[in-house]
Structure 1
Amino acid sequence: MKSTSPRYIKQYAVGIIDYSSQYGGENPRSFSYSVSNIIGEPKIFPKYGDFTQAAVMRTYGPWWNRCLTPKYKKDTRPRSSSFQSQDYIDVIFDKAVFPWSIAIYETYNPGAIVRILALCQEFPKQNTPSYENNNDGVDPDICGKAIPLPLVEKYTHWEVLWSNPNPQFQTTKEARMFAPILQEINHRSRIIRLEFCHTHLDYYTELDAVELTGTLTYTSSSPVDPPSRPMSSLSIHDSPNSSSENLAYSESKADFQNQDSEIIGINEGTIVVTKNYNDVLPNGYFIFLPPEIMSKIFSYLPFPDFCRAACVCKLFHAYSYDPSQLASVDLHSYWHIVNNNTLHSIQSRCSPSAIKGTIRSLSLKWLGGGDIVTPDQLNNFIKSCDFRALTFLDLASSPSLTDALLGSLVKYTSGLSHLDIQSCDKATSEGIRILHKLTKLQSLNLYRTKVDDAGLICIIHSNPSLLNLNIGSCTHIRDYDRVLVELSEHSHNLRALDTWRAKSLTSLGLKALASQCKHLEELDFGWCGGLQSSTGCFQHLAKSCPHLRKLFLTTNRTVSDVEVNMFAQHLTKLRQFDILGTRLVTPQSVERLLNQCNDLEFLDVSFCYSFTLDIVKALRQTYPHVEIKRSFQD
């Protein structure tokens, strides 16, 4: 007799598909603080503390958002959710199941997780044979490892399993197994995305493992299945068999092709129509408002609502297609529900035939996760819109960024002053080299990309106005000294430079940079082990760059009291200072720094041997305006 109760399968992550950042190095053989540490069973739990065997991301706390690098105006339109995810990790499991529980083992500073999503694939019931020999009546291959990569677009979409709109700082300092109540979904999945927000955290969050529990057959816990949110929920486009005034809202399966019908509203996913617009809204109440007021009202709509408003009435349609409303577009929060139809909707609002260069700021951050938006689709979008006025473009962690797309960017967005393509690993070194055709860049983020020495030097030569450059964890750069020498010769106005984990960087490059770039405000030399204080490079930096406000020398074992005293004497504007892992610095020199730098707000002395817990507590009491960090292992 066949069992009626579902069989639950418990499994741990077997691999990492993608991630936005990590504290560890990019060398596959390096495991310290690597995101790959999240694979497999818990290794640290239930211990609490800072362990190298954990998965750790790059940032934490609010300090990273207080940096003084050039700011660019982003979308002022409110978001649908109150939080903005900053990082993500995509983990893959052995078998595709209907998710019932997801447990995340947090072993240090828990509370960063703000959203959990599943990449789903619908298996058509008519094509699914019956397998009587299987207790669950389902083909084990379909249930197990049948989701291919790249994924079949027709049957894939993301489902939000859980979200926390108000993340809170966890006051309890202990490890926890976090298993929130999940939203039911009628889809199998073996790829889970964890999204993180770090601004409320006191220090780095660390993860040990992820456990997925699910069933091979779907069993609803309620008589009504939860609604599924299609990937096309943002799509509003012209119906091919209707006039331009009659819109087809793709979230509904109804097909409104009657020329006499007018869409006037949406109720629980159902489109309401009438034969005559004036019968429903006689004279209309909104038509009495001045256009300026209507435009202001529409500017307060989150982007999905702004698009959907076009289905309400002719008046709303006109304002929803007003190009001036699209001066700044930020799709980062909606990456999981953006597909090609969404891009087509934006394209119809800002194509060259509709308006001349309206969009000035565009964020497509994380767009295309799970191959929902293909590189060809995004490339066609870039080619079809008028981006002559575009100055800000964020494509961070977008798997849709390829060499072909970079070629289109330099052709159709030649006015860019800010470009972020961090953690885009599909673009090759040769593909990134084409960015030298952009000549107005002021800010460029190449973190974790395949940019090489030759390509980066060409970009530096072509952009003398460069102010902000992130080339951290770029493993294809062989000679960071040469890069910094080129920066010193061509980028005299440079304000911020991030060379996180630049192993080839030595005092030669630092001295050249400090000698010529006198306006530097932010420097991150974290894990740059080639910088030796015995060469006098840090003292030279202190004397040459008095405007420094952020200086990270993470794990530089050679920094001593001599350098810290020099910083205290010359870098009086310092606000953020990180000497994590420094063994030669004593509390006396740090206290002098605290007295001299009145603007200091952040200081990290974790794993500095002289800084005991009692000493750090005393410093915190004496300098309450400074966030003094001291990590530990239990």
Structure 2
Amino acid sequence: MGRIEYYVQKVVDYTSRYNYSNSFYYSPNNVIGKYEHYPAYGDFPEAYCLRHYGNWLKCSEKLQPNYRPQDYDPLGAQDYIIVQFEGAVLPKDICVYEVFNPGAVVRIWGKLLFRTDRPWILLWEGAPEKLPHNARKFHPKIREVNYLINTIRLEFNQSHLEYHYSIEAILLGGYKPASQIEKAIMSRGISSVQIVELEASKMNISSADEQNNRLDCFSYLPNEVILHIFQYLDLKSLSRCSRVNKRWNFITSDAILYQNLNLKPYWHLVNCDTIKCFMDKSKTLKKLDLSWCGNDIDGFDQLVAIFIGTNQKFLTHLSLANCNFLNCQIMLETSKCGELVDLRLNNVKSCFTINFSLLTSLNKLVCLDLTSTNIHDCHVISILKSNPHLSVIILDLCENIQRLDQVVDTAVEYNKKLSTWSSWKTFSLTAEGVKQLSNCHNLTELDLGWCFVNKDPGNCLNYIAEGCPKLKRLILSEWRGLTDNLIAPILKSCKELTQLDFLGIKNISSQICEKALMSLPKLQLLDLYYCDSISMEEVNLWRQKYPHVIIKVFNECD
């Protein structure tokens, strides 16, 4: 077979983006083709940039709690990107061209060509790395597989990084079949690929197995005690325990073990049979996380709709992040979950037309995440009116919202418990809308980044300072019209601030930055990236004087 190398031809899916949908700056599509800047290092708009970095999100109310802590990802994958190449190869090399803050790749998956039942296979995994500020061609030794692959998936953990992570290109190298016979052989696989099953299969356990277990200490414990022990196990371990003997199989079928399900870490194992298995076991399901699951599986959407429908009396938490199979039937069944308090529909890129108006029948929501969905103003307004207990509202990158001021007016009137408002890169907010937000006196987090790129903010921050003294996190990225005088009231009144983001505000002076450091005793992060009037000499002095504050500046990161 001939040796060949491909660069990315198409971006299939992703979980994080920093760009507007109509902008190529920092877009996921920037990984298409060969690199242009590598081996140069820097914050290049022509590269793909992930939105989050560090542990700052873990301190936010926006963070989704783990519905089942036993099922955690030891490598802490936060985001992924799936890319496709022009041709399929027997993979031998995968190179990731990292041009800004390298070291975030923790897993590389390959999608087996012509395989529909659990097609993904792990090619490499490793812990995130803390590396110097240099561009890197990340070229790990991948697992040898005898299957053709033309699609790969990278998973990232950016929690250890000092700033945003960027990649410019991805290369897939390997051997390409020279004939149709070779291609047919490789499409079937020369050797079998072992894939771990998540759900327990049906078994015939002999009576001899029962007798062998009499010497086991567990044989002296009552079922109730064993059941309590099993509650600390992850789903994989429960599956394995169910295969030990008839008694354990019976105990592991108890519905109490499956009141909370987090299938996100097992996305590559989940299929229709998995859902059917848990439908039999989960009779009182309260929390369900299907994030990242089922996007390659025919009929998965229908089973999910049935699964949600059979548990609609009990469900309180539901996460369908990046579930691109979301459709109106699933939305209809979700709308009937009368006890739902936490709903996550972020980054859904569904090919179906989703009727968000169905969600107006919910009335107990406390947290609602609609990041990067195509929801419209009227539907948001209706949902807010129906849910007076809403505390966390996330509308980041909701570019179809054209009347955000009216959405704010509704939240002020109907959602008196509002503590977190996030509308990062959502266009239509004006200074009047920000003034209205000052009436939400319980606000602790306010993310208005990139909302005022070309607008005059006026004196709206005066109102925020007076009305929201409990603020802990304030994001004002790219408020280009801000000046020292407009920021000063915030520093005077909001003494609880721990995070302050002034990225891209070119008109502020070093005096107001030093005043922030002096007057905010709880400040932990000050982002001055692209604040051109701030010098490195001043920043170095501040770091010596205020060592408890992390200060981000462009000159150093680049």
Work out whether the TM-score is over 0.5.
yes
Paired residue for 1:560, among 474, 483, 492? 483
Please state how far the C-alpha of 1:39 moved relative to its aligned partner.
0.8
Bigger Cα displacement from structure 2, 364-373 vs 100-109? 364-373
Distance 1:71 1:96 in 2: 37
Identity %: 30
Please state how far the C-alpha of 1:212 moved relative to its aligned partner.
0.6
SS at match of 1:18: strand
1:171-570 alignment runs, 5 A limit: 172-217=132-177, 228-230=193-195, 233-237=197-201, 247-248=202-203, 261-262=204-205, 274-282=206-214, 284-291=216-223, 293-351=225-283, 357=284, 359-371=285-297, 374-383=300-309, 385-411=310-336, 413-426=337-350, 431-514=355-438, 516-529=439-452, 532=455, 535-570=458-493
- Kept after mapping to 2: 8 A contact 1:102/1:213: yes
Bigger Cα displacement from structure 2, 281-290 vs 392-401? 281-290
- Kept after mapping to 1: 8 A contact 2:461/2:487: no
Distance 1:226 1:387 in 2: 44
Distance 1:71 1:206 in 2: 24
- Kept after mapping to 1: 8 A contact 2:320/2:344: yes
Distance 1:229 1:474 in 2: 41
User: Given residue 467 of structure 1, which amino acid in structure 2 is its aligned partner?
Assistant: S
Distance 1:37 1:275 in 2: 61
Distance 2:263 2:353 in 1: 27
- Output one character per residue of 1:598-626: Cα deviation in whole Å (capped at 9) or x when no partner: 11111100010122222222212211111
Distance 2:471 2:436 in 1: 16
Distance 1:388 1:183 in 2: 45
Residue 63 (structure 2) pairs with residue 85 (structure 1):
no
Please state how far the C-alpha of 1:287 moved relative to its aligned partner.
2.1
SS at match of 1:22: coil
Please state how far the C-alpha of 1:350 moved relative to its aligned partner.
1.5
Distance 2:16 2:394 in 1: 13
Residue 120 (structure 2) pairs with residue 158 (structure 1):
yes
Please state how far the C-alpha of 1:180 moved relative to its aligned partner.
0.7
Please state how far the C-alpha of 1:286 moved relative to its aligned partner.
0.7
Q: 1:21 to 1:317 in 2, by over 3 A?
A: same
- Kept after mapping to 2: 8 A contact 1:20/1:423: yes
- Output one character per residue of 1:499-525: Cα deviation in whole Å (capped at 9) or x when no partner: 1112211012111221x2111111111
Distance 2:169 2:441 in 1: 45
- Output one character per residue of 1:354-385: Cα deviation in whole Å (capped at 9) or x when no partner: xxx2x2221111111333673223223323x4
What is the TM-score with the length of structure 2 in the denominator?
0.93
Match of 1:607 in 2: 530
- Output one character per residue of 1:129-179: Cα deviation in whole Å (capped at 9) or x when no partner: xxxxxxxxxxxxxxxxxxxxxxx735x511111111x32322x11000001
- Output one character per residue of 1:173-220: Cα deviation in whole Å (capped at 9) or x when no partner: 100000111112222121111111111111100110011112124899
Please state how far the C-alpha of 1:309 moved relative to its aligned partner.
1.5
SS at match of 1:502: coil
SS at match of 1:389: coil
Please state how far the C-alpha of 1:283 moved relative to its aligned partner.
6.2
- Kept after mapping to 1: 8 A contact 2:312/2:333: no
Match of 2:129 in 1: 168
Please state how far the C-alpha of 1:392 moved relative to its aligned partner.
1.1
Please state how far the C-alpha of 1:347 moved relative to its aligned partner.
1.1
Of structures 1 and 2, the larger Rg is shown by 1
SS at match of 1:211: strand
Q: 1:57 to 1:534 in 2, by over 3 A?
A: closer
Distance 1:617 1:373 in 2: 58
Unmatched tracts of structure 2, length 5 or more: none
User: Given residue 618 of structure 1, which amino acid in structure 2 is its aligned partner?
Assistant: L
User: Given residue 544 of structure 1, which amino acid in structure 2 is its aligned partner?
Assistant: G
Q: 1:372 to 1:192 in 2, by over 3 A?
A: farther
- Kept after mapping to 2: 8 A contact 1:430/1:455: no
- Output one character per residue of 1:285-319: Cα deviation in whole Å (capped at 9) or x when no partner: 31212445423432332211212321111221122
Equivalent pairs, count: 549
- Kept after mapping to 2: 8 A contact 1:506/1:531: no
Match of 2:52 in 1: 59
Paired residue for 1:95, among 87, 91, 102? 87
- Output one character per residue of 1:520-569: Cα deviation in whole Å (capped at 9) or x when no partner: 11111111126855521112111111011111011111111113321110
- Kept after mapping to 1: 8 A contact 2:453/2:478: no
Match of 1:8 in 2: 3
Match of 1:148 in 2: none
- Kept after mapping to 1: 8 A contact 2:417/2:442: yes
Distance 2:454 2:223 in 1: 60
User: Given residue 158 of structure 1, which amino acid in structure 2 is its aligned partner?
Assistant: W
- Kept after mapping to 1: 8 A contact 2:223/2:251: no
Distance 2:66 2:15 in 1: 23
- Kept after mapping to 2: 8 A contact 1:109/1:173: yes
Residue 115 (structure 2) pairs with residue 120 (structure 1):
no
User: Given residue 228 of structure 1, which amino acid in structure 2 is its aligned partner?
Assistant: V
SS at match of 1:210: strand
Unmatched tracts of structure 1, length 5 or more: 1-5, 123-151, 238-246, 249-260, 263-273, 352-356
User: Given residue 422 of structure 1, which amino acid in structure 2 is its aligned partner?
Assistant: N
SS at match of 2:12: strand
User: Given residue 49 of structure 1, which amino acid in structure 2 is its aligned partner?
Assistant: G
- Kept after mapping to 2: 8 A contact 1:339/1:373: no
Distance 1:349 1:461 in 2: 36
- Output one character per residue of 1:573-617: Cα deviation in whole Å (capped at 9) or x when no partner: 001110101111112111111122111111100010122222222
Match of 1:108 in 2: 100
Q: 1:110 to 1:204 in 2, by over 3 A?
A: same
- Kept after mapping to 1: 8 A contact 2:71/2:265: no
Please state how far the C-alpha of 1:418 moved relative to its aligned partner.
0.3
Residue 497 (structure 2) pairs with residue 587 (structure 1):
no
Q: 1:480 to 1:427 in 2, by over 3 A?
A: farther
- Kept after mapping to 1: 8 A contact 2:399/2:427: no
- Kept after mapping to 2: 8 A contact 1:525/1:553: yes
- Kept after mapping to 2: 8 A contact 1:427/1:450: no
Distance 2:521 2:259 in 1: 40
Please state how far the C-alpha of 1:325 moved relative to its aligned partner.
1.6
User: Given residue 175 of structure 2, which amino acid in structure 1 is its aligned partner?
Assistant: T
Distance 1:464 1:202 in 2: 38
SS at match of 1:407: helix
SS at match of 2:167: strand
Question: What is the alpha-carbon root mean square deviation over aligned residues?
Answer: 2.3
Distance 1:316 1:113 in 2: 38
Distance 2:482 2:329 in 1: 45
Please state how far the C-alpha of 1:337 moved relative to its aligned partner.
1.1
